[in-house]
Amino acid sequence: METQTIAPARQVAPKSRFTMADVLRKLAASPEAGVVTACVFVFVCIGLAAPTYTHTGNLQVMGRDLAQIGILAIGEALVILTGGIDLSVGALAGLAGILAAWFNVREGLPGPVAIVVTLLICGAVGLWHGAMVTRLKVAPFVITLVTFTVAQGLALAITTGTPINDISSLFSRVSSFQIGAIPLPAVIFVGTALIAWFVLERTYVGRQLYAVGGNTEAARLAGIPVARRTTLAYVASAMLAGVVGVLVIGRMNVADPSVGGSGWELTAIAAAVVGGAALTGGEGRILGIAAGAILLELISNGLLALRVSPYDQQIVQGGVLGIAILADRLRARRFGRESR
Amino acid sequence: MTVTDESRSRAVSARLRGVHKSYGQARVLDIPWLEIHAGEVTGVVGENGAGKSTLIGTLSGNVNPDGGEIEIGDMLLSLGSTESAGRLGVALVSQEFPLVGQLSVAENMLLGRRPRGSKRRVLVDRRAQRAEAAAMMEEIGLSPAEIQVTREVRSLPVPTRQMLEIAKAWGREPTLLILDEPTSSLGPVEAQMVLGLARSLADRGGTVLFIGHRLDEVRAVSDRILVLRNGSLVADLNPEDATEERLVREMVGSEFTRSEPKAKLIEERVLFRAEGLTADGLGPVDIELRAGEVLGVAGLMGSGRSRLIHTVAGAQPATGGRMQLDGQNYSPHGPADGAAAGIALIPEDRKQQSLVLFAPIRSNVTVSILRRLSSHGILTTKSERAAAKDITANVHVRMQSVDQPIGSLSGGNQQRAIFGRAFASEPTLLLLDEPTRGVDVGAKAEIYELIDRAAKQGMAVLVASSELEELLWICHRIAVMNHGRVVDVVDREDATKERIMTAAAGTGSRLLETSATAELSTAERASRTEL
């Protein structure tokens, strides 16, 4: 039997001639477009309403804040891509700050060494998460919740609740260093995003991460080392949490267990989801996720600039998030595929 | 078709010696000796639980047998290792594990490996990836110009994905290609394409192990047919000897009797009528169902079969037209309205849409009549159990007690329990979507009897199925759908496969259109909300 062409001859939109409408439509159909547009919209609106918002000083503040939730969000997104979730990142960032300070001040390790040791410990925590999830099939939610609790407790136990002072000036130098007018932490965030983008889009390991999250069984049958890829995501997430922890104590110039990054994991998850990551895995791109983090920061800082009462801020934040997600779903229904 | 000594002497691609596997007392696979030859399609048939999946699992390394030896090519397979199986060239195309929807066609084609000759080890070589993916598709007759390799797989309809899955497996140049029920999600025309593909791969020297659930397909495509029963190889037949009766006899182990053809329908009272019924992707459709009539709905994937059923049930909103049920106007706003008006729906996916698998049989079969069972809004286990016993006895569910989880029953028994539940609500109109999907041959006959019984009790039955033989067997009339419309209504006496296929195929295949996928997801969503 001869093989025959199976699909019917049917012209699919010719490649060469793009009209403006096509381009717009294509943009609208991509999940990233909405959140990027929202960033611009929010920035312009608040900027017009509150002039201090766009001042260099405030932009630098936003840059430093962004480093925190943005880096956490990227790590979180890697885990979400595999279909998991990492609830420990906030608490782990808090603990990492305490550990770095403790190694530096109490154990007398030089700053750089303290940082490296801290990051290695975070990496080990990630490895533990990965092993539990891939070998013992523990639900990611559960195992990272355990770490969340233990990490918060450890931060308090190590310090007995009192802040660690006199940390190496290296910490604050890193956090306050500026390249031109741009704070170093913001640069670290952009660097992290670029690396994550490159790995996810351009390397086999990154593409395999999408496959693992999108269809684990298909990935396994195709010979992709599913357990290794999944574990990699948890390790990256935990180490990025470590980086954030180090940046935070540098910014405060003190390691305070009560700062402890509480609630940051939820912000990180929200940023990833607003940016187009699907909690079911396999979906979401770094551009959108970075934009999601930027959007959240623009909003929370904007509320300060607009002098919204601190008592009302959370309501407004939640409301704006709700609207963003609603708008995105409407867009998806109008232009794109519905499944997410 | 020539299956002679000549083809039997061809190279052996896989050899099994003394392979056996037991779970506890039950021996699920026992194959003392089996050779699978290159250049042949070897068909494998058997009832559910006959050991087909264990055989596939053993060959592909997913199942670790208790003993024996498997050679693939000339190499010994390290038993129970998917890696080893992959290295030796066993490629499995399975219904269960489709492609990664979020990735492009090209990335799926080369999932887990690099393009041949690409120098990049770490970075993705997109150009090479796309070129090789296109070549792989052309190799099996898919046109990359029409199914662009950059397209996301989930935007493609199910049949196309199935083809891509085969292209992907074939592109790995397998020593042994296993096709596990590759046509079970396909309509007749698409299925023909897959069969043609299997045939041509074997003709080009490939080794194809074709696990089939439709006997006519297996007979049409195979050079040799193996029959499994209770884990053993009970027959090894030439296609000439493998008549459908013979195969069924070997599979079931005894003579298979079908019920008498139905008497001609005399009743004239119209129970259900739809006029100009439209919904998303459906219609306008006009149909009439008389009391005691079984009306079949045939059509390809995406022709609107399930949509029609769901719209009538109220699970998908109608956008226009009128429906009448038993003389009353009927315009449902949801499946609850349908149920209240006297419609019972048995959806196609038992596990997802019908049952709570871990819950006991009694809770599963009584959900449709809870109000009747409760006194003053309170339900007692006692009354539930009593009702469940009646319901299950009525449809002969084989079980130990009504308290065991329904998931522990066989597929056929589960389906019978679902029929029992539907009957218990005493519906006027019974809607069936793929009523025998995933049940074995013996259980199928019993389900046909249940459908027959429903009709004899005076219900009107509307049944959508992708299996033509089934419709020809059970229906008084068959409505053929194409592009959301009823294009032909055939009386039982005049119904032939050819006539229905011709009407169903209409303007040709529709592989590039996504309506099939859309339909699946709509149907899924609809029924989820219903639950």
Q: What pLDDT was estimated at residue A186? A: 94
* Closest Cα in chain B, distance from residue A335 (Å): 13
CB pair distance less than 8 Å for A215 and B510: no
Q: Tokens standing for B166?
A: 């085969």
**Partner A contacted by B124 (CB < 8 A):** yes
Place of tokens 């592989």: B511
* Range of weakest confidence among A89-103, A281-295, B503-517: B503-517
Closest to B439 in 3D by CA, of B428, B430, B450, B431: B450
**What's the pTM?**
0.73
* Range of weakest confidence among A38-52, B3-17, B422-436: B3-17
- Is-contact B464 B473, C-beta < 8 A? no
Q: Give residue-wise pLDDT tens across range A72-116.
A: 999 999 999 999 999 999 999 999 999 999 999 988 889 899 999
CB pair distance less than 8 Å for B512 and A12: yes
Q: What pLDDT was estimated at residue A17? A: 56
* Closest Cα in chain B, distance from residue A147 (Å): 31
Q: What pLDDT was estimated at residue B262? A: 56
Strands (E), B238-360: 270-279, 282-290, 294-299, 318-325, 328-329, 343-346
CB pair distance less than 8 Å for B512 and A2: no
Q: To the nearest whole number, what is the mean pLDDT of chain B?
A: 82
Q: What pLDDT was estimated at residue A126? A: 97
- SS3 readout for A234-280: HHHHHHHHHHHHHHHHHHHCCECCCCCCCCHHHHHHHHHHHCCCCCC
Which residues have a Cβ under 8 Å from the Cβ of A110 and sit 6 or more positions away? A104, A168
Confidence of residue A154 (pLDDT cuts 50, 70, 90): very high
Q: Give residue-wise pLDDT tens across range A185-221.
A: 999 999 999 999 999 999 999 999 999 999 888 888 8
Q: Give the Cα-Cα-Cα angle B406, B411, B412 (nearest 5 degrees).
A: 105
Q: What pLDDT was estimated at residue A289? A: 94
Distance CA A53, CA A46 (A): 7
Cis peptide upstream of residue B284 (ω within 30 degrees of 0): yes
Report the residue from A204, A214, A217 with minimal CB separation from B114. A204
Report the residue from A2, A3, A7 with minimal CB separation from B140. A3
Distance CA B504, CA B190 (A): 12
Q: Give the Cα-Cα-Cα angle B318, B319, B321 (nearest 5 degrees).
A: 80
Report the complex ipTM. 0.78
Domain boundaries, chain A: 61-307
Distance CA A255, CA A248 (A): 8
* Closest chain B CA to residue A214: B100
Distance CA A70, CA A272 (A): 9
* Closest Cα in chain A, distance from residue B226 (Å): 23
Average pLDDT on A163-181 reads 88
B117-142 exposure pattern, b = at least 16 Cβ within 10 A, e = fewer: ebeeeeebbbebbbbbbbebbeebbb
Percent of the residues in chain A that have a pLDDT greater than 90, as a whole number: 51
Site from A82, A216, A221, A339 to mutate, B interface, most B CB atoms within 10 angstroms: A221
Q: What pairing do the DSSP bridges indicate for beta strands B176-180 and B208-211?
A: parallel
> Above 50 in pLDDT, residue B320?
yes
Q: In chain B, what residues touch A283 (CB-CB under 8 Å)?
A: 102
Confidence of residue B376 (pLDDT cuts 50, 70, 90): confident
Q: Is the dihedral of CA A215, A220, A222, A227 positive or negative?
A: positive
CB pair distance less than 8 Å for B99 and A215: yes
Domains of chain B and CATH, by start: 5-89+174-252 (3.40.50.300), 98-156 (no CATH), 286-357+429-530 (3.40.50.300)
Average pLDDT on B2-17 reads 65
**Partner A contacted by B83 (CB < 8 A):** yes
Distance CA A115, CA A133 (A): 27
Which residues have a Cβ under 8 Å from the Cβ of B452 and sit 6 or more positions away? B259, B262, B294, B474
* Closest chain A CA to residue B138: A5
Query: CB neighbours (10 Å) of residue B506?
Result: 19
φ, ψ dihedrals at B321, nearest 5°: 90, 180
Which residues have a Cβ under 8 Å from the Cβ of A48 and sit 6 or more positions away? none
Average pLDDT on B401-425 reads 88
Closest to B34 in 3D by CA, of B249, B201, B209: B209
Q: In chain A, what residues touch B97 (CB-CB under 8 Å)?
A: 215, 217-218, 221
Q: What pLDDT was estimated at residue B196? A: 87
Average pLDDT on A277-298 reads 91
Query: CB neighbours (10 Å) of residue A97?
Result: 32
Q: Tokens standing for A11?
A: 């012209």
**What's the topology of domain A61-307?**
ABC transporter involved in vitamin B12 uptake, BtuC (1.10.3470)
**In DSSP terms, which residues pair with B104 in a beta bridge?**
B152
